[in-house]
Chain A
């Protein structure tokens, strides 16, 4: 497959067939915690899209131009986390300066993202799967959009659920995990479309 096309395919695969949240179950903690309503889910989702796209690009550069030449690839976990953390800090500063409202909206989410395993997961997958630079960015953006899609859908479902009769022991995280499982099953329906490794 051509390089450009493969990036495009990876982008869509990351949203639907290989949704990082519903097939790899990464980023579950914030998925469960912040999915009570659509608005805050969307806020967190947008922050994840932004950070995921940028950090996959940054970490690609760090990995292939810093860690590989100096033979330090075994430290990639730490290096990636440091880069993500530093990037989130930087973004926080910029948002605080230029958009106070967005800062307050995203304020609590940005630090959460630093420890969101979906972000680290995307960076590690792109290395394991040997993506090139363009594909990595596509994978990061697609992964972020897929994650947002899943959490916003969950937010919508949980909003409806507020009026539903749920057995007491299942309230909160219990029912949310069950719904996540059902959503994952539903997303399996996409798997015939494209496959990536």
Chain B
């Protein structure tokens, strides 16, 4: 018995010794020292501890490369041009790269380990995606279940975005959620207003993020956002514009309209904004004010289920019906639609039927 115990003890000591050796080896072999990452010919230079992958080094330094899988090498989105120091192309990358991309030194940044100084090239708009520390400076009820949040940017203190893009709000741990999560919300404020952004957020019953934002977030609180993201921005052309929104889907549309007003864009524009009852509609005064600034703008608010006390004299029915009625010259029209996915899909269907080419229908689905 004693012998077995002693034997086990000796063996454990031996195993411990080996583990120690491995630790020492790890400290020696995995130590690559400080590595420099030169971005776009020295436009920016990062210094980071070597050994980690490029994607995480960049995101640690607040350069956010789009990635859906979180660095496991299974989505193929985090492509970056690495000009020098990437090491050989790995078999884990080749399935995601086209031959011409390989010729152009494009790599998957999650698979490239930074072991020495590297030179990379990334699209400049990725620089614009940043993490922002912001302070809540205004919370206003727009409807019984929709609030307008105004955030003042603290660090960095200004933001550049294209009207129509969205931000991700970092919801910290709170009693309804034990790990931080991200949710995307469109920016409703004009792109010229760079030191403050407005988000419009509708409460989702039992929603983790909206519950936090509606019930826990107070004026004066500080949270973090990141972005901007998205391809929902105003395209340059002379075509007529139809903008269709329901509920908080009006947010990016507001930003687009402010841009048109600020830049004096005089395209024939029809905004169809709908919800159930008068209480659900918001920003009607703001929209009215915008028609003063954009003479070619027409606003069509519509209610699908008006109640008696609304005394609603405006249009009744769904946004899709209004669109069907108004959309005539499909070939000369761009459609911008934002709201719940079912509405977006039916709008897309109507637009296609009316002869609007598919690549002129731009949408943001609020899932």
Which residues of A are at the interface with B, using a C-beta cutoff of 8 A? 66, 70-72, 74-75, 78-79, 82-83, 86, 89-90, 93-94, 96-97, 100-101, 104-105
Interface on B for A, CB 8 Å cutoff? 3, 7-8, 10-11, 14-15, 18-19, 21-22, 25-26, 29-30, 87-88, 90-92, 113, 115
Nearest B-chain residue to A85, judged by Cβ:
B18
Query: A75 with B25: in contact, given A100-B87, A100-B90, A101-B90 (CB under 8 Å)?
Result: no
**A residues near B10, Cβ cutoff 8 Å:** 70, 72, 75
Contact between A75 and B22, CB atoms less than 8 A apart: no
Q: Contacts A82-B15, A83-B18, A97-B115 given; 9 further ones with Cβ under 8 A?
A: A70-B10, A71-B3, A72-B10, A75-B7, A75-B10, A86-B21, A90-B21, A100-B113, A105-B91
> Which of A75, A90, A96, A97 is within 8 Å of B11, CB to CB?
A75
A82/B18 in contact, CB under 8 A: yes
B8 contact set on A, CB distance < 8 A: 75
List the A side residues contacting B92 at CB < 8 Å. Answer: 104
On whether the beta carbons of A79 and B14 are closer than 8 Å, the reply is yes
Assess the A72–B29 pair: CB atoms within 8 A: no
Which B residues are in CB contact (< 8 Å) with A79? 11, 14
Q: A94 touching B29 by the CB < 8 A rule?
A: yes
Chain A residues closer than 8 Å to B88, beta-carbon distance: 100-101
With CB as the reference atom, state the residue of chain B lying closest to A102: B88
B residues in contact with A82, CB < 8 Å: 11, 14-15, 18
Interface pair A93/B18, CB less than 8 Å apart: no
Residue of B with least CB distance to A62: B14
From B15, B18, B19, B30, contact of A97 by CB (8 A): B30
B7, A97: Cβ atoms closer than 8 Å: no
Q: How far is the CA of A91 from the CA of B26 in the complex (A)?
A: 11
In the complex, the answer to whether B26 meets A93 with C-beta atoms within 8 Å is: yes
In the complex where A66-B14, A82-B15, A96-B29 touch, is A74 in contact with B7 (Cβ < 8 A)? yes
| Known contacts A100-B88, A100-B90, A104-B91; A90 and B25 CB within 8 A of each other | yes
Q: List residues of chain B with CB within 8 A of the CB of A75.
A: 7-8, 10-11
In the complex, how many angstroms separate the beta carbon of A88 from the nearest chain B beta carbon? 10
Chain A residues with Cβ below 8 Å from B21 are: 86, 90
CB distance from A171 to the nearest CB of B (A): 26
26 contacts between A and B (CB under 8 A): A70-B10, A72-B10, A74-B7, A75-B11, A78-B11, A79-B11, A79-B14, A82-B11, A82-B14, A83-B18, A86-B18, A86-B22, A90-B21, A90-B22, A93-B22, A93-B25, A93-B26, A93-B30, A96-B29, A97-B115, A100-B87, A100-B113, A101-B88, A101-B90, A101-B91, A104-B92
Instruction: Say which residue of A78, A93, A104, A105 sits within 8 Å of B29 (CB atoms).
Output: A93
A104 touches B90 (CB 8 A): yes
A-B CB proximity, top 10 nearest: A86-B18, A93-B29, A97-B29, A104-B90, A101-B88, A72-B7, A100-B87, A82-B15, A75-B11, A104-B91
User: What residues of B have a CB within 8 angstroms of the CB of A89 in the complex?
Assistant: 22
Instruction: Give Cα A75 to B7, complex, Å.
Output: 8
Which of B30, B90, B92 counts the most chain A CB atoms within 10 A? B90
A66 to B14: give the CA distance in the assembly, Å.
10
CB-CB < 8 A to A83: which residues of B? 18
Q: Which A residues lie within 8 Å of B25 (CB)? A: 90, 93
Which residue from chain A places its CB closest to the CB of B18 in the assembled complex? A86
> For residue A86, which residues in chain B have a CB less than 8 angstroms away from its CB?
18-19, 21-22
Name the B residues within 8 Å of A94 (CB-CB): 29
Write the chain B residue with the least CB distance to A89: B22
The distance in angstroms between the C-alpha atoms of A79 and B7, with both chains bound, is 11
When distances are taken between beta carbons in the complex, the residues of chain A under 8 Å from B11 are 72, 75, 78-79, 82
Bound Cα distance A93, B22 (Å): 9
Q: Within the assembled complex, what's the spacing in Å between the Cα atoms of A141 and B144?
A: 77
Smallest CB-CB separation from A98: which chain B residue?
A: B29
Q: In the assembled complex, how far is the CB of residue A121 from the closest CB belonging to chain B, in whole angstroms?
A: 21
Nearest-neighbor residue (CB-CB) of A90 within chain B: B25
B18 / chain A contacts, CB cutoff of 8 Å: 82-83, 86
- For residue B29, which residues in chain A have a CB less than 8 angstroms away from its CB? 93-94, 96-97
Task: Kindly report which residue of chain A lies nearest to residue B21, judged by CB atoms.
Answer: A86
How far, in angstroms, from A75 to B115 measured CA to CA in the complex? 41
- Which of chain B's residues have a CB closer than 8 A to the CB of A105? 91
Report how far A94 CA is from B28 CA in the complex, Å.
Answer: 10
